[in-house]
Amino acid sequence: MKIRVGVFFGGKSVEHEVSIISALQACNSINKDKYEVIPVYITKNNEMYVGEKIGNIASYRNLKSLLKESRRVILVNDGGKVQLVLYPGKRFGNNVYATIDVAFPIVHGTNVEDGVFQGYLQTIGVPYVGCDVISSAVGMDKYVMKTVFKDNGIPVLDGTVIHISDYAKDADAVKADIKAKIAYPLIVKPINLGSSVGIMIAHNDEQLDEALDNAFTYASKLLVEPAITNLKEINCSVCGDYATAHASECEEPVNTDEILSYKDKYIAGDKGGKSSGMATLKRKIPADISDETREQIRTLAVKAFRSLGASGTSRIDFMIDMDNGNVYLNEINTIPGSLAFYLWEPVGVKYSELLDEMISLALKRERENKALTFSFDTNILDGFTGGKLGGTKGGKL
């Protein structure tokens, strides 16, 4: 009997469209002899839709038409059976669209990749692929992520956090504090976004104003770091869990500006107006680095992955300061664009095999969780009729 996999994508995120591309690539690559795939599209209003056309990328050119021809569902755990139930339901007949064995979130960005969606699945009792709530949340917050890596001896750049309330209260004081801590050039980033959204480099006061205003349109909290001027970016993917993990080949993305932009990642490599997600990015694989540096980065990538308690497949992005050869970990992407399959093929791992390993890891975690105790059967409320409880007299609140 095939394992039924619900692939969830979209959601309320600025990376919504990128998620669609990544997910449908995966849907087409999952081994259909072993898995039955049910694509589930999440709108920007957080409504879930299923249907024949949900798995067809061309259908998303006319979203209104797609939704009209699809069915809205809700996720329900009915006695241990995870079901996609039609909503609103029919008065008569069966309202269960499909039953799934495991959820595969292929979502990017705030509200979906940051532990929020994972928490929803965990609360309902749905086994799911990838990082758990904590590692997803830490992996999304660039500052918290840095502190975890730094505490584990992984080299990162120092940075400072800026809150929108402080900036609104006294912008000049905030900018003065930034410049006292970090010299130009510096880089400004929304603290919880990916795909290079909202990121800008500032070389002077005027550009700092622009960078802060731009980033605050996407997030209420920012991270400011020194900008490496003679920079080489290197990415490496890791697959596994807390027990064991292995690294992919290293890549060197090619950017058209000072930083690797959203356009570089998802648009610049398009042909004929079609997008293939991160697979379109111009890159050198293997990266143009020494064997020693390659092994250093691959080792650091696995160490970072395990220190975060990650699971599934992540992509870890590094920076090399070419002026002194120092290597810094920039960030981890807990659900990378296109799930970073292009980094695994050079080391002999087919995309279908990578997806199979990710699903197997999710089912392993579910088996391990079932062996743990999360609640006790007690009778402490049995017969409670009155008295004081937390300052409340009687049995009523």
| Candidates 13, 136, 195, 307; catalytic one | 195
- Tokens, residue 82: 């995870």
Residue with tokens 């590094």: 318
Residue with tokens 């409670």: 384
- Cα–Cα distance for residue pair 108/22, rounded to 1 Å: 9
Query: Annotated binding residue at 213?
Result: no
Closest C-alpha among 139, 81, 101, 109 to residue 9: 109
Helices (H), 37-160: 63-68, 116-124, 133-140, 142-151
Rg (CA), the chain: 23
Q: Is 195 among the catalytic positions?
A: yes
Query: Annotated binding residue at 317?
Result: yes
- Cα–Cα distance for residue pair 19/43, rounded to 1 Å: 11
Whole-Å CA distances, 370 to 72, 131, 133, 238, 377: 31, 17, 17, 26, 16
Angle at alpha carbon of residue 211, lines to 178 and 199, rounded to 5°: 105
Q: Is 113 among the catalytic positions?
A: no
- Cα–Cα distance for residue pair 174/182, rounded to 1 Å: 12
Residue 385 exposure: Cα atoms within 13 Å on the Cβ side: 1
| Candidates 13, 15, 19, 196; catalytic one | 15
- Cα–Cα distance for residue pair 216/229, rounded to 1 Å: 24
Query: Annotated binding residue at 31?
Result: no
CA 382 to chain CA centroid, Å, is 44
Q: Is 248 among the catalytic positions?
A: no
What is the enclosing helix (H) or strand (E) of 251?
strand 245-253
3-class DSSP state of 359:
helix
| Candidates 19, 237, 338, 352; catalytic one | 338
Give the N- to C-terminal CA distance of the chain in Å, as an integer: 51
ω before 346 within 30° of 0 (cis)?
no
Q: What DSSP state is assigned to residue 288? A: S
Residues with active-site annotation:
15, 195, 338
Binding residues for Mg(2+): 317, 331, 333
